[in-house]
Chains A and B, each alone.
Chain A
Amino acid sequence: MISVQGLTKRFGTQTAVDALSFEIPAGQIVGFLGPNGAGKSTTLKMLTGMLVPTSGTATVCGFDLQRDPIEVKRHVGFVPESGAVFESLTGLEYLEMVAALYAIPEEAARARIRQFIAFFDLSFETLTDKLLGAYSKGMRRKVVITAALLHNPPVVFFDEPLDGLDANAAVGFKALIQTLAKEGKTIVYSSHILDVVERVCTRVIIIDKGKLLLDGRPDELVAAHNSGSLERLFTQLTGGEELERRAEDFAKTFRP
């Protein structure tokens, strides 16, 4: 479903993504992990057609990213980390606008939006009356997730999707993406909440400084490195050792 070969992105002299290669078949939930600045968001932006790669190729649903970016965009959904929305639109105006961009007729879009708001426990009145600028972070995130899934894309990229969601919504969301994967959708899930990734994802890809470090099933990787948990494996690989001791030392500097 997703095929990436030697994908590279340079910003001036800085290499954000360095010759990344991987394949993701349909129906997998892949955790895409890395420390801050590892190149995760840049990779996702390239795979959604928002950024042009400096070199390398990628295909999504058989469409070449460089030759056919509009078809790629038609087949993917994306929840960006920023959770940006047009704040001066109401939730309904925003979702109907997004639906129209995917050529979904208004009536069909409305029916689909109703399904989503029922799932996310949003009221239709809130969606029609309140401007998005006045939504809480969690409500806004629900709207952004709805906007990403509205056109029923076969591939969905999530960049920190749980940011702002309350515990109930997060549980519901995790169940949702697992069901979507069972129905054949490909999910790429980028997050720093590693215990969620460990529970939800069937495979993890860990990158650092734009390069691929590890790729495999979370339980197999944890066992192979004898690290006990994905979190510990992650800190081992990305140079986060002695964090507890450093935190203690730093906290001591606050003593009066």
Chain B
Amino acid sequence: MNPPPVPKPPVIKPAPPPQAVLRRLFLTLFLRGRSSRGLRKSTAPQSIGTKLTWTLLIYGIFGFGVVAVMNGQPLFTMSLFLHSTTIIFLGMFVASSAGEVLFNKEEADILLHRPVASRTMLWAKVRVLVEVSLWLAGAFNLAALIAGALRADGGWLFPIAHAISTVLEALFCTGGVVVAYQLCLRWFGRERLDGLMTTAQVIFAIAVVVGGQLPRFFMQFHGFAQLNVHTWWVSLLPTAWFAGFDDAVAGSGAESSWLLAGLGVVATAGVLWIAFGKLAEDYEAGLQRLGETVSRPRRQGGGRRWADVLASAPPLRWWLRDSVSRASFLLVTAYLMRDRDVKLRIYPGLAPVMVMPFIFLLQPTGGNGGGFGHDFGVAFSGAYLGLVPMMSLNLLQYSQQWQASDIFRAAPMPGPAALCNGARRAVLCFLTLPMLVVFGLITRLMHHDSTTLLLLLPGIMALPVYSMVPCLLGEAVPLSKPTEEAKSTSRGLKFIGVMMVSLAVSAVAYFAWAWGWFWWLILVEAVAVVVIYAGMRASLKTLQWSPAE
């Protein structure tokens, strides 16, 4: 008689490794946002997922446009242009997301006491950043992959080579941000982490925008023909390394292309080795720093803060007569100076946008310091200033402490007008005015002629109107919305809209200047601004609170 069959023990599926668990966690958090007001799982992830889809679609269309323009150029030139634009997108994305992803304060209480090595956590976060970067890069480069495959000097190898070089570029970019943070931590210490993170992100955002624009300027000044793999200085551009990879594998296969490709691979490997091999312990130190509560040194004699002193003295005292506006002004000023989350959104967001007027202003002036390019550049810088209050007020709406803004609605105020006015004034004082001073100084230094400064006037005069727009759109109540709502594609469209208006205003200013009608323009603009501003102010006063969700 056969013994009864022994039942097989149930197969227990082992838990996935921590690396995979954390990757899934951080990707979910990225797509859904870190806080949620949605009641159900099915309703919450839509916001960022939908926005991301739209972003990818816009990138795809933009990529198609770039390919259409660059298709006649040699493979290396086209690839260089694609990589230069890709690194701007990737850099901007990584710079704006890295702070929240790498150093999230709330996360410390949830994850730091779990048995996970900080290196594992860092890898998982970087992997998510690279993954999302690749979605963006993939959308932008999709048209190029197809067009490259159809080119005579590209062929079927091009999509493979370009995909690999884009992955390398994303790793290089993300690794670069991690290294920048870690170096800041190592050199300056954990105590100054908050301030350093903002500085590191601003510098990185500017670096990728300037770096991404360099090939375009070389092309403009030296011509497309000069921009080939045989020109020695091309090897100084990181984007040329990745374009060299494409050219080596799928294009000319020239020795110098292989050299550039080698540089790209070595540089990427080097950056990753430094980030995860040499400096990973600095990341752990930074994470632990988030769990520490360091009290600020007490001010001597119990003195008031400088912003308070400034707001209590003329001329700000005259401008902030209303107590609510004054309180809102001080609140926004405090967050602009102290809050890591707000600083990481505002300054890296503004810095790359402000690169453009600098490029216009810093062009060589030639013999007499004038000419279309330069005078137009000054007028453009003035008109472009309007972007500062618009973008800043828009970004200032978001805060990790958004639920604290319930106090605004609980206070006896019919609407947000006074709060918006305070926020508007803080942004004009502490962000727009310094930028204006810098533009003015550069104009004066480059032109050696004070009269050119007058070209900034049309833009300056329009500032009150520009700064009112977010208030009327209901986008200027400070710190009142959750941070995940900040990821918006519509801001990019608004940015393009304002840029178009700036270009139009500066063109009108330039021609009025050149044809001797400048003061007439100022008079007409002054009247228009007064009328429009008065209308906007009246509308703002009647603005009611939008219904709370």
Q: Which of A101, A108, A128 contacts B18 (CB 8 A)?
A: A101
Q: Are B18 and A100 in contact (CB under 8 A)?
A: yes
Q: Which residues of B contact A93 (CB under 8 A)?
A: 28
CA distance A131 to B116 in the complex (A): 24
Q: A70-B117, A85-B110, A101-B116 are in contact. Are A130 and B39 (CB under 8 A)?
A: yes
CA distance A98 to B16 in the complex (A): 12
Query: Any chain B CB within 8 A of the CB of A104?
Result: yes
Q: Which residues of B contact A71 (CB under 8 A)?
A: 115
CA distance A54 to B452 in the complex (A): 59
Q: Are A88 and B110 in contact (CB under 8 A)?
A: no
Q: Which residues of A contact B42 (CB under 8 A)?
A: 129
Query: Any chain B CB within 8 A of the CB of A49?
Result: yes
Query: Any chain A CB within 8 A of the CB of B303?
Result: no
Q: Which residues of A contact B114 (CB under 8 A)?
A: 73, 98, 101-102
CA distance A86 to B37 in the complex (A): 12
Bin chain A's interface residue count.
35 or more
Q: Which residues of A contact B33 (CB under 8 A)?
A: 88
Q: Which residues of B contact A108 (CB under 8 A)?
A: 12
Q: Which residues of A contact B297 (CB under 8 A)?
A: 12-13
Q: Which residues of B contact A97 (CB under 8 A)?
A: 21, 24-25
Q: Are A131 and B15 in contact (CB under 8 A)?
A: no
Query: Any chain B CB within 8 A of the CB of A74?
Result: yes
Q: Are A48 and B113 in contact (CB under 8 A)?
A: yes
Q: Are B13 and A86 in contact (CB under 8 A)?
A: no
CA distance A48 to B113 in the complex (A): 6
Q: Are A49 and B21 in contact (CB under 8 A)?
A: no
Query: Any chain B CB within 8 A of the CB of A82?
Result: yes
Q: Count chain B CB atoms within 10 A of each CB in A71, A100, A108, A129 and give the residue with the most.
A: A100
Q: Are A50 and B36 in contact (CB under 8 A)?
A: no
B18 and chain A: residue at smallest CB distance = A101
Q: How far is the CB of B400 from chain A (nearest CB, A)?
A: 11
CA distance A146 to B294 in the complex (A): 30
Q: Which residues of B contact A80 (CB under 8 A)?
A: 109, 113
How many of chain B's residues have a CB under 8 angstroms from any CB in A? Answer: 45
B residues 196-245 with Cβ under 8 Å of A?
A: none
Q: Which residues of B contact A99 (CB under 8 A)?
A: 15
Q: Which residues of A contact B18 (CB under 8 A)?
A: 100-101, 103
Q: Which residues of A contact B413 (CB under 8 A)?
A: none
Q: Are B37 and A133 in contact (CB under 8 A)?
A: yes
A residues 80-133 with Cβ under 8 Å of B?
A: 80, 82, 84-90, 93, 97-109, 128-133
Grouping DSSP codes into helix (H, G, I), strand (E, B) and loop, the A interface class, with mixed when no group exceeds half, is: mixed
Q: Which residues of A contact B288 (CB under 8 A)?
A: 50-52
Query: Any chain B CB within 8 A of the CB of A168?
Result: no
Contact with A along B7-51 (1 / 0, CB 8 A): 000001111101001101100110011111111111011000000
A14 and chain B: residue at smallest CB distance = B295
CA distance A76 to B40 in the complex (A): 32
Contact with A along B100-125 (1 / 0, CB 8 A): 00000011111011111100000000
CA distance A107 to B14 in the complex (A): 9
Grouping DSSP codes into helix (H, G, I), strand (E, B) and loop, the B interface class, with mixed when no group exceeds half, is: loop
Query: Any chain B CB within 8 A of the CB of A174?
Result: no
CA distance A9 to B40 in the complex (A): 42
Q: Which residues of B contact A131 (CB under 8 A)?
A: 36, 38-41, 44
A-B contact count (CB 8 A): 125
Q: How far is the CB of A29 from chain B (nearest CB, A)?
A: 20
CA distance A107 to B112 in the complex (A): 25
Q: Are B294 and A12 in contact (CB under 8 A)?
A: yes
Contact with B along A12-24 (1 / 0, CB 8 A): 1110000000000
Q: How far is the CB of B505 from chain A (nearest CB, A)?
A: 42
Query: Any chain A CB within 8 A of the CB of B292?
Result: yes
Q: How far is the CB of B257 from chain A (nearest CB, A)?
A: 45
CA distance A184 to B515 in the complex (A): 91
Query: Any chain A CB within 8 A of the CB of B191?
Result: yes
Q: Are A11 and B14 in contact (CB under 8 A)?
A: no
Q: A73-B113, A101-B115, A104-B15 are in contact. Are A87 and B40 (CB under 8 A)?
A: no
Q: Which residues of B contact A86 (CB under 8 A)?
A: 25, 29, 34, 110
Q: How far is the CB of A32 from chain B (nearest CB, A)?
A: 16
Query: Any chain B CB within 8 A of the CB of A134?
Result: yes
Q: How far is the CB of A244 from chain B (nearest CB, A)?
A: 29
Q: Which residues of A contact B451 (CB under 8 A)?
A: none
Contact with A along B288-321 (1 / 0, CB 8 A): 1001111101000000000000000000000000
Query: Any chain B CB within 8 A of the CB of A78?
Result: yes
Q: How far is the CB of A33 from chain B (nearest CB, A)?
A: 19
Q: Which of A50, A103, A106 contacts B108 (CB 8 A)?
A: A50
Q: A87-B36, A90-B41, A131-B38 are in contact. Are A103 and B294 (CB under 8 A)?
A: no
A residues 235-252 with Cβ under 8 Å of B?
A: none
CA distance A133 to B37 in the complex (A): 6
Query: Any chain B CB within 8 A of the CB of A45?
Result: yes
Q: Are B115 and A106 in contact (CB under 8 A)?
A: no
Q: Are A100 and B13 in contact (CB under 8 A)?
A: no
A residues 6-59 with Cβ under 8 Å of B?
A: 11-14, 45, 48-52
Q: Count chain B CB atoms within 10 A of each CB in A85, A90, A130, A131 and give the residue with the most.
A: A131
Q: Are A129 and B36 in contact (CB under 8 A)?
A: no
Q: Which residues of B contact A14 (CB under 8 A)?
A: 294-295
Q: Which residues of B contact A104 (CB under 8 A)?
A: 15
Q: Which of B16, B28, B37 contacts A89 (CB 8 A)?
A: B28
Q: How far is the CB of B261 from chain A (nearest CB, A)?
A: 39
Q: Which residues of A contact B28 (CB under 8 A)?
A: 88-89, 93
Q: How far is the CB of A251 from chain B (nearest CB, A)?
A: 23
CA distance A12 to B288 in the complex (A): 15
Q: Which residues of B contact A52 (CB under 8 A)?
A: 288
Q: Are B14 and A103 in contact (CB under 8 A)?
A: yes
B43 and chain A: residue at smallest CB distance = A131
CA distance A82 to B22 in the complex (A): 21
Q: Are A105 and B29 in contact (CB under 8 A)?
A: no
A-B residue pairs, 6 tightest by C-beta: A133-B36, A88-B32, A48-B113, A84-B109, A73-B115, A74-B115
A selection of 24 A-B contacts at a CB cut-off of 8 Å is A12-B297, A49-B113, A50-B288, A51-B288, A52-B288, A70-B115, A70-B117, A71-B115, A74-B115, A82-B109, A88-B34, A88-B44, A97-B24, A100-B15, A101-B116, A104-B15, A105-B13, A105-B15, A107-B13, A129-B40, A132-B36, A133-B36, A134-B38, A134-B40
Known: A11-B293, A88-B44, A134-B36. 18 other contacts (CB 8 A): A12-B294, A45-B291, A48-B112, A50-B112, A50-B288, A84-B110, A86-B25, A86-B110, A87-B34, A88-B35, A88-B45, A100-B15, A101-B18, A102-B15, A103-B18, A130-B40, A131-B40, A132-B36
